Amino acid sequence: MGTTSNRRKRLVVLVSGSGSNLQAIIDACADEQLPAEVVAVVSNKPDVFALQRADASGVPAVHMGVHPGEERSDYDARLADVVAGFDPDLVVLAGWMRILTMSFLGWFPQRVVNLHPALPGELPGTDAIARAWDEAVGGTRTQSGVMVHLVPDEGVDDGPVLGTAIVPIDVQAGFDAFAALVHQAEHRLLVDTLGDLCSTSPSPATSPALSEVSA
Ligand code: GRF
């Protein structure tokens, strides 16, 4: 895994929803902007549009639901098994809305990358875009942003930062305009950061320099 410098990096992308970030990755791979290929897409939710996007691009699309009463660690061990079967250089959490335990993360040290629609240390968890907006409307915030970071452990939206981008909030323009800017920033930052990681050899996510990259 990840020991050959010139081959395209193998990405497994974990999703839970629409998959617009997945699409940005697939498109960037297709137009050679990203020296990588998406070798599988795994969703914890059935029937999400992200799985259709994978299908449409000829990428294996796997739904892995949680069994009734299944312990989180057991699900994560099953998930690790499935993901490891695709031999990824990187595992990309692109709209993956489920906390991962060490039962999964322990199998992919320095190789799990998360995207979060807020700046480091701000607004961890769900609905970060809406919470940033509410704070802006309340007069306590003028900007938010997006970040891409490594996932070393079970901390939520926390870990060594690989890249960030600031998104200003214009309350006159409305929430939808702000959300659209955040999503644009996510797509760009995710592709750029993966580009940095995938161009680094031999083991992309372990270079100390990458923790200093900032968009
Ligand atoms: C993104 O805003 C991501 O940061 C958040 O969920 C959204 C997923 O969007 N965690 P998509 O499924 O990639 O369109």
Cα angle, residue 188 at apex, residues 62 and 156 outer, rounded to 5° = 60
Tens digits of per-residue pLDDT, 108-166? Answer: 999 999 999 999 999 999 999 999 999 999 999 999 999 999 999 999 999 999 999 99
CA of 21 to the centre of ligand 1 (A): 7
Q: How far apart are CA 93 and CA 112, in angstroms?
A: 7
Spatial contact of 146 and 118, defined as CB atoms under 8 Å apart: yes
The average pLDDT across 36-64 equals: 98
The average pLDDT across 88-94 equals: 98
For ligand 1, whether the C-beta of 36 sits within 6 Å is no
Q: How far apart are CA 167 and CA 146, in angstroms?
A: 8
Q: Is 116 a catalytic residue?
A: yes
For ligand 1, whether the C-beta of 186 sits within 6 Å is yes
Say yes or no to pLDDT of 172 above 60. Answer: yes
- Which residue has tokens 């900032």? 214
CA of 3 to the centre of ligand 1 (A): 30
- Whole-model pTM: value is 0.91
What pLDDT is recorded for position 201? 56
- Which residue has tokens 């998959």? 19
Say yes or no to pLDDT of 206 above 60. Answer: no
